[in-house]
Amino acid sequence: MRGWSDLAERVAGTTRTSEKTSLLARYLATLSSGELRAAATFLSGRPFPEADPRVVGLGWATIAAVVGRLAGTPAGALGAAYDNSSDLGVAVAEVLALRPDAPDPSLSPGLEEVADGFTAIGAAPGPAAKAAEFTSLLARCDALTAKYVVKILTGELRIGLREGLLEAAIAEAFERPRPAVGTALMLTGDTGETAVLAKEGRLNDARLRLLHPIKFMLASPAEDAADVMARLGPIVWVEDKYDGIRAQLHRRGSEVRLYSRDLHDISGQFPEIVAAAGPLDWDGILDGEILAYSDGHVLPFLTLQARLGRKEPTPEIQVEVPVAYVAFDVLAIGPRSYGGHDGAGSTVMPMLGVPLRERRGRLESLGLPTVADGGGFALSHLVTADSAETLDRVFDEARARHNEGLMVKDPQSGYTPGRRGLGWLKMKRALATLDCVVVGVEAGNGKRHGVLSDYTFAVRDESTDRLVTIGKAYTGLTDAELAEMTRWFESHTVRHVGRYRQVDPVVVVEVAFDVIQRSSRHQSGFALRFPRIARLRIEKSPTEIDTLANVERLHREFQYGAEYLVTAEERSSDRRKVDG
Ligand code: AMP
Q: For the residues of 176-220, what is the DSSP string, one character each? A: --HHHHHHHHHHH--HHHHHHHHHTT-GGG----TTS--PPPEEE
Report, as an integer, the average pLDDT of 442-448: 75
pLDDT (0 to 100) of residue 373: 82
Is 2-153's fold the same as 218-429's?
no
pLDDT (0 to 100) of residue 223: 75
The Å distance, Cα 246 to ligand 1 centre, comes to 7
User: Residue 403: which pLDDT band, with cuts at 50, 70 and 90?
Assistant: confident
pLDDT in tens, 354-402: 999 999 999 999 989 998 888 899 999 999 999 999 999 998 888 777 7
pLDDT (0 to 100) of residue 437: 95
Return the higher-pLDDT residue of 252 and 535. 252
pLDDT (0 to 100) of residue 558: 62
Q: Of the candidates 55, 67, 76, which has an alpha carbon nearest to the alpha carbon of residue 135?
A: 67
The residue whose C-alpha atom lies closest to atom 4 belonging to ligand 1 is: 219
Average of per-residue pLDDT values in the chain? 87
Q: Specify the 3-state DSSP secondary structure of 327.
A: strand
Q: What gap in Å lies between CA 398 and CA 564, rounded to an integer?
A: 9
User: Residue 571: which pLDDT band, with cuts at 50, 70 and 90?
Assistant: very low
The Å distance, Cα 219 to ligand 1 centre, comes to 7
Ligand 1 pocket, residues with Cβ under 6 angstroms: 219, 239, 241-242, 246, 289, 328, 380, 407, 426
Helices then strands, counting H and E runs in the chain, come out as 21, 21
Q: What gap in Å lies between CA 559 and CA 232, rounded to an integer?
A: 35
Residue 294, C-beta contacts closer than 8 angstroms, at least 6 positions apart: 321, 322
Give the rounded percent of residues in the chain with a pLDDT score beyond 90. Answer: 56
pLDDT (0 to 100) of residue 430: 54
- Percent helix, strand, coil in the chain (nearest 5)? 40, 25, 35
Q: Which fold has domain 2-153?
A: DNA ligase i, domain 1 (1.10.3260)
Q: What gap in Å lies between CA 92 and CA 12, rounded to an integer?
A: 18
Is CATH 2.40.50.140 the right assignment for the domain spanning 432-558? yes
346-366 as b/e, with b when 16 or more CB fall inside 10 Å?
bebebbbebbbbebbebbbeb
Q: What gap in Å lies between CA 111 and CA 43, rounded to an integer?
A: 12
Indicate the domain borders of the chain: 2-153, 218-429, 432-558
Q: Of the candidates 139, 569, 574, which has an alpha carbon nearest to the alpha carbon of residue 370?
A: 569
pLDDT in tens, 112-145: 999 999 999 999 998 999 999 999 999 999 999 9
pLDDT in tens, 414-440: 999 887 777 999 987 655 789 999 999
Q: Give the right CATH number for 218-429 from 3.10.20.30, 3.40.50.300, 3.30.470.30, 3.40.50.80.
A: 3.30.470.30
Is 241 in the active site? yes
Pocket test of ligand 1: the residue of 241, 356, 359, 575 to mutate, having most ligand atoms within 8 Å of its CB, is 241
Q: Specify the 3-state DSSP secondary structure of 444.
A: strand
The Å distance, Cα 407 to ligand 1 centre, comes to 7
User: Residue 84: which pLDDT band, with cuts at 50, 70 and 90?
Assistant: confident
On whether the pTM is more than 0.75, the answer is: no
Beta bridge partners of 335: 282
Return the higher-pLDDT residue of 75 and 576. 75
pLDDT in tens, 33-70: 999 999 999 999 999 998 787 889 887 788 989 999 99
